[in-house]
């Protein structure tokens, strides 16, 4: 096995340098690989399998290294698992024996392997289980391995028998054979059946039966690859915390399969950075922040969630030690794919601690997500903020603008459950609650007459169904404006001033396209503040502008919790009303289960006190309440206790009391430990066309000021820093360029820069009146 080594790139976190680094790694990997011949088949260029065997998963130079490779210490756990599988399963014994034949060239062993494998294929049928074709597809892999690796020992009759069975098994796949059904962006046809199972079998039998490879490779290069090379630029995956890493793992098979054919890396090298989204959303307990349809919660509580073998295959291909560290932290991988770890793991690669990574990371278009952390230790705060420039449907939810917060427990959560009495895909619980906006920390605009246009979907007041939630077949259909998969636009993003340990993390977006014509405009701005205080380590500021088509359409700001929140009024500040407005209402959310001790406090700054209604919804019979109906989804208490399910049962709803076409929401959320709680005073600030907040901390204040319309401006900004404490000040929605801050009646000035991406300026200043000018 070739050893992969990365060139050191001083990237400073910049995307261009990162991608150059990935390209250099891949280019150096390919320097000694044999080059494939490419041919156009039915209008699509595909690499042609070379006229030699083995060519599936490895070549002659790799098979000659197998005797030594199988003895390498880092592979011994995987080799041991392979041997254990071989003892229990005739299918995996055939794969192990074929591997041993390649290593030893023991002809009797090779013949015995062929004679054992062919009946396995002949007897393989679709079992009576969900997703049954995964079983027959995996048997195609076994047949392909034996056919290719033992090729020189096959008789002509055996070749035809293998081909017959592989074609029969291909016809059991959901994509059909020829593989023309379902989509190539999401869905089951974007998993193993084409990208590994048919591709593998097609390569093995290409000399005698080229049709299967041409069909599978043709569809992959025509449909699967363009979609992935487009969305990989966002360094994330769209199918959530469980299906995301699961489906990305399947993406890594063509990476290695085609590279071993001599085609090189056919993917956008930004593929390397997709798993970073799961690194950043991994909680201190080893679980991930919830996203999309979660099935990983079936793992026992306290057990880290796997990211599958694809994480290791990505780390090995691109020489990425951070990914290897995450793979090991999450418990490695097992199951039926161990043989690929043995074949493809870079045994020379060393892990690099994820603790060396920057604490905030942006995941760009077509996603528009931001994750901010205060650290990588057990007491770290995690906050996820989403815009969702596109919605890919399937296992992705209607959660544009959603956020989550974790600190010593899940505090602001995604609610609902992909399990239980009504948790199956397409169940009433999914159609009307779990998939919908109402189950997320997002915004509702309730038009009582809104029809969501598809049977079974009720009115939750939330975001529309992109293309009726029909899955896009390919990239062209996903991007077609008439299909309306586009759901938002990022307006600003950034973090700093130190890119490694930022004080602020900013994400702003326009969510208007996520909703129907019931809205005229919806914008949301997030600012995460790392407060560097052990009692109050972080705060999240959320500012929204919601304009509805009809003033009568009621607007809701949502915050979902595991446990019942407590609502109360926060004390008013003593400063003059011209500088601020007092907090209207507040709430406290504790997490006490399983020994957790986190606390989240909410301070409502807008709507103003006289126009704000803050209520809690939930509890028995109302856990999944949608405007008069509970979409119940019961789970056995034992499963809840032993597993890692977090369905939630409560939410806070903030809504204006008076009908208006346009409303503003401004909320500040702080985290603390309920066993030694602390809560810093918060006040609202008004400065002409801008609004914001001041958090009065221990020894310093933290100030955020944003335009009410979220538009960038080159106009001077005049504002006051109240109180006696020096402030760390973030002013957003500025035209990019150099700005100067000057305090009245003093010589105190600051030269600051507003970045092109962030449009924000950060500086520290004394109390008083300031003017920020370009």
The count of C-alpha atoms lying within 13 angstroms of the C-alpha of 116, restricted to the half-sphere facing its C-beta, is 21
User: Which position among 4, 213, 243, 253 bears the catalytic label?
Assistant: 243
The distance from CA 578 to its chain's CA centroid, rounded to whole angstroms, is: 43
How far, in Å, CA of 679 to CA of 616, rounded? 21
**φ, ψ dihedrals at 334, nearest 5°:** -145, -140
**How crowded is residue 159: how many other Cβ atoms within 10 Å of its Cβ?**
16
Length of the chain: 774
In sequence order, the 6+-apart residues with CB closer than 8 A to the CB of 521 are: 510, 512, 545, 546, 547
Element (H, E) at 370: strand 369-373
Element (H, E) at 663: strand 662-673
Q: Give me 446's structure tokens.
A: 């309730």
395 is catalytic: yes
Closest CA to 725 of 666, 765, 760: 765
E strand spans, 580-645: 580-581, 585-590, 598-606, 612-618, 625-626, 629-630
Q: Give me 433's structure tokens.
A: 């609650």
The distance from CA 131 to its chain's CA centroid, rounded to whole angstroms, is: 23
**φ, ψ dihedrals at 282, nearest 5°:** -80, 125
Sort strands 650-656 and 37-41 into parallel, antiparallel or unpaired: unpaired
User: Which position among 224, 246, 297, 395 bears the catalytic label?
Assistant: 395
Beta-ladder partners of 743:
770
Closest CA to 433 of 593, 558, 247: 558
- Kindly tell me the sign of the dihedral angle through the C-alpha atoms of 554, 557, 563, 566: negative
Closest CA to 406 of 674, 580, 272, 599: 599
User: Which position among 53, 188, 397, 493 bears the catalytic label?
Assistant: 188
In sequence order, the 6+-apart residues with CB closer than 8 A to the CB of 71 are: none
Beta-ladder partners of 585:
604
**φ, ψ dihedrals at 595, nearest 5°:** 75, 10
Closest CA to 412 of 537, 245, 588: 588
Q: Could you tell me if 50 and 261 are in contact, meaning their C-beta atoms sit under 8 angstroms apart?
A: yes
E strand spans, 511-562: 519-530, 538-548, 554-561
Beta-ladder partners of 749:
742
In 371-526, which ranges are continuous DSSP H helix?
428-429, 475-479
580 is catalytic: no
**Hey, what long-range contacts does 511-514 have (CB within 8 A, 24 or more apart)?**
511/387, 511/388, 511/400, 511/401, 511/443, 511/487, 512/488, 513/484, 513/486, 513/487, 513/488, 513/489, 514/388, 514/391, 514/398, 514/400, 514/401, 514/463, 514/464, 514/487, 514/488
Residue 70 to residues 77, 148, 308, 347, 348: CA-CA distances in angstroms? 11, 20, 22, 11, 14
Closest CA to 392 of 231, 262, 254, 544: 231
Element (H, E) at 217: helix 211-219
**φ, ψ dihedrals at 683, nearest 5°:** -135, 155
188 is catalytic: yes
* Catalytically active residues, by annotation: 188, 243, 395
């Amino acid at each position: 096995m070739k050893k992969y080594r990365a060139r050191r790139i001083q990237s400073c976190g910049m995307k261009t340098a990162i991608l150059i680094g990935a390209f250099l790694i891949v280019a150096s990997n390919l320097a000694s690989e044999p080059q494939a011949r490419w041919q156009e088949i039915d209008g699509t260029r595909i690499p042609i399998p070379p006229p030699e065997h083995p060519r599936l998963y490895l070549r002659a130079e790799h098979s000659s290294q197998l005797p030594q490779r199988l003895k390498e210490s880092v592979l011994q756990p995987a080799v041991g698992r392979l041997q254990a599988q071989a003892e229990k399963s005739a299918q995996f014994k055939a794969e192990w024996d074929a591997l041993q034949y390649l290593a030893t060239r023991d002809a009797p062993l090779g013949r015995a392997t062929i004679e054992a494998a062919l009946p396995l294929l002949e007897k393989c049928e679709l079992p009576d289980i969900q997703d049954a074709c995964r079983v027959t597809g995996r048997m195609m892999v076994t047949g392909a391995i034996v056919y290719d690796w033992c090729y020189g020992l096959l008789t002509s009759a055996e070749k035809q028998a293998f081909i017959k069975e592989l074609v029969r098994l291909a016809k059991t796949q959901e994509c059909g054979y020829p593989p023309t059904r379902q989509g190539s962006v999401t869905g089951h046809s974007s998993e193993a059946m084409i990208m590994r199972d048919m591709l593998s079998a097609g390569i093995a039998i290409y000399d005698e039966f080229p049709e299967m490879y041409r069909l599978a490779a043709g569809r992959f290069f025509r449909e699967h690859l363009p979609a992935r090379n487009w969305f990989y630029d966002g360094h994330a995956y769209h199918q959530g915390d469980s299906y995301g890493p699961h489906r990305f793992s399947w993406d890594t098979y063509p990476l290695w399969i085609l590279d071993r054919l001599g085609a090189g890396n056919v993917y956008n090298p930004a593929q390397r950075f997709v798993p970073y989204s799961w690194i950043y959303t991994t909680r201190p307990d080893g679980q991930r922040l919830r996203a999309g349809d979660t099935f990983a919660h079936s793992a026992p509580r306290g057990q880290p969630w796997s990211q599958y073998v694809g994480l290791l295959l990505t780390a090995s291909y691109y020489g990425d030690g951070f990914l290897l560290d995450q793979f090991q932290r999450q418990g490695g991988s097992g199951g039926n794919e161990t043989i690929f770890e043995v074949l493809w793991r870079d045994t020379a690669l060393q892990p690099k601690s994820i603790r060396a990574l920057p604490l905030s990371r942006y995941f760009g278009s077509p996603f528009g997500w931001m994750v901010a952390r205060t650290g990588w230790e057990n007491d770290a705060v995690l906050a996820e903020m989403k815009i969702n420039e596109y919605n890919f449907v399937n296992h992705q939810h209607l959660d544009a603008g959603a956020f989550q917060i974790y600190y010593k427990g899940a505090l602001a959560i995604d609610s609902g459950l992909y399990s239980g009495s009504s948790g199956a895909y397409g169940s009433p619980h999914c159609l009307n609650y779990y998939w919908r906006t109402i189950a997320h920390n997002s915004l509702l605009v309730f038009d009582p007459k809104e029809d969501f246009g598809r049977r079974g979907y009720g009115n939750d007041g939330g975001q529309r169904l992109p293309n009726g939630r029909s899955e896009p077949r390919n990239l062209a259909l996903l991007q077609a404006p008439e299909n309306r998969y586009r759901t938002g636009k990022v307006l600003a993003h950034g973090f700093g001033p130190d890119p490694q340990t930022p004080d602020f993390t900013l994400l702003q977006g326009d969510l208007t396209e996520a909703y129907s014509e019931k809205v005229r405009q919806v914008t949301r701005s997030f600012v995460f503040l790392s407060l560097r205080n052990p009692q109050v380590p972080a705060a999240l500021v959320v500012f929204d502008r919601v304009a509805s088509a009809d003033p009568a359409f009621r607007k809701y700001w949502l915050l979902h919790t595991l446990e019942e929140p407590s609502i109360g009024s926060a004390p008013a500040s003593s400063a003059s009303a011209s500088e601020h407005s007092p907090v209207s209402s507040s709430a406290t959310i504790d997490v006490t289960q399983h020994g957790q001790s986190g606390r989240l406090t909410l301070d409502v700054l807008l709507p103003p006190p006289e126009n704000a209604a803050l209520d809690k919804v939930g509890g028995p019979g109302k856990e999944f309440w949608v405007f008069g109906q509970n979409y119940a989804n019961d789970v056995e208490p034992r499963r809840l206790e032993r597993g890692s399910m977090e369905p939630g049962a409560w939410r806070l709803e903030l809504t204006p009391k008076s009908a208006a076409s346009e409303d503003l929401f401004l909320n500040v959320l702080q985290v603390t430990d309920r066993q030694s709680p602390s809560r810093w005073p918060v006040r609202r600030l008004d400065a002409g066309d801008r609004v914001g907040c001041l958090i009065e901390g221990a020894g310093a204040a933290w100030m955020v000021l944003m335009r009410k319309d979220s538009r960038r401006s080159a106009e001077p900004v005049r504002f006051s820093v109240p109180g006696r404490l020096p402030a760390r000040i973030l002013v957003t929605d500025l035209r990019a360029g150099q700005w100067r801050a000057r305090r009245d009646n003093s010589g105190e000035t600051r030269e600051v820069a507003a970045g092109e991406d962030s449009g924000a300026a950060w500086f520290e200043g004394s109390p008083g009146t300031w003017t920020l000018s370009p």
